[in-house]
Amino acid sequence: MAAAVPLLLLPLLLATTAASAASSGGGEKQTHIKLYWHDVVSGPSPTAVQVAHAAVTNTSKTGFGAVVVIDDPLTEGPDLKSSKPLGRAQGTYIAAGKDEVSLMMNMNFVFQAGKYNGSTVAIMGRNAVFNAVREMAVVGGTGVFRMARGYAQARTHTFDLKTGDATVEYNIYIKH
Ligand SMILES: *[C@@H]1O[C@H](CO)[C@@H](O)[C@H](O)[C@H]1NC(C)=O
Ligand SMILES: *[C@@H]1O[C@H](CO)[C@@H](O)[C@H](O)[C@H]1NC(C)=O
């Protein structure tokens, strides 16, 4: 049988074998991080600011077309004032649902303390904020999270209907 493999294909087969050996080899870590994300839209120092909207955004019941830039604090515990700061969530979210409140999240979790200080995790995905659990993709990372892939699950911890401020628990599961 082996003799029947055309010589031209041989380098291809060898390359494939080498690649799968590398990816299944040791050194890959699995990390779970739980933290709290604080979207502060009210008060004198908001960390989430709307930078653009469509003509229909104001009259849309889902805020369709709004573009928001965030530099949201990430903390170890749920209380923004007393919990240990871990870093920032920097990026944008877009109200991308016309008939359902559904955000398109595009953000870096920038760690600025603890054992991941200096590293980042890139998260992108759909966030239908009124669902109990929303899953988003971890699409990459830097520092200790180079080559990261995985997923994040978001659960609303508190949402203040009056101010619009929200605290969301994130659990991220990363292979890197
Ligand atoms: C939408 O509402 C905001 C705030 O009330 C206002 O500044 C803006 O001009 C409105 N935009 C449109 C397109 O009506
Ligand atoms: C995080 O790393 C930076 C750069 O090395 C350092 O200046 C800073 O003190 C560190 N922060 C904490 C809280 O360890």
Q: pLDDT (tens digit, 9 = 90+) per residue, 145-164?
A: 999 999 999 999 999 999 99
Residue range 77-93: mean pLDDT, rounded: 98
Domains of the chain: 29-175 (2.40.480.10)
Distance in Å, CA 168 to ligand 1 centroid: 27
Q: Is 94 in the pocket of ligand 2 (CB under 6 A)?
A: no
Contact criterion met (CB below 8 Å) for 172 and 154: no
Output the six-digit token pair for 168.
């969301």
- Give the predicted TM-score (pTM) of the model: 0.83
Q: Which residues line ligand 1 (CB under 6 A)?
A: 55, 58
Name the residue at shortest CA distance from atom 3 of ligand 1: 58
Residue range 67-75: mean pLDDT, rounded: 98
Distance CA 42, CA 138 (A): 28
Distance in Å, CA 114 to ligand 2 centroid: 8
124 three-state secondary structure: strand
The pLDDT of residue 17 is 41
Contacts for 145-154: CB closer than 8 Å, 24+ residues apart: 145/31, 145/116, 145/119, 145/120, 145/121, 145/174, 145/176, 146/176, 147/176, 148/121, 148/122, 148/174, 148/175, 148/176, 149/174, 149/175, 149/176, 150/174, 150/175, 150/176, 152/123, 152/125, 154/37, 154/127
Name the residue at shortest CA distance from atom 4 of ligand 1: 58
Q: Give Cα 80 to chain centroid, integer Å.
A: 19
Q: Could you report the per-residue pLDDT of 9-64, keeping only the tens digit for each?
A: 444 444 444 444 444 446 799 999 999 999 999 999 999 999 999 999 999 999 99
Distance in Å, CA 94 to ligand 1 centroid: 17
The pLDDT of residue 27 is 78
The residue to which tokens 């995905």 are assigned:
125
Backbone φ, ψ for residue 67 (5° rounding): -120, 125
Which residue type occupies 174?
A: I
Q: Is 164 in the pocket of ligand 2 (CB under 6 A)?
A: no
Distance in Å, CA 108 to ligand 2 centroid: 18
For the chain, the first-to-last Cα distance in angstroms comes to 38
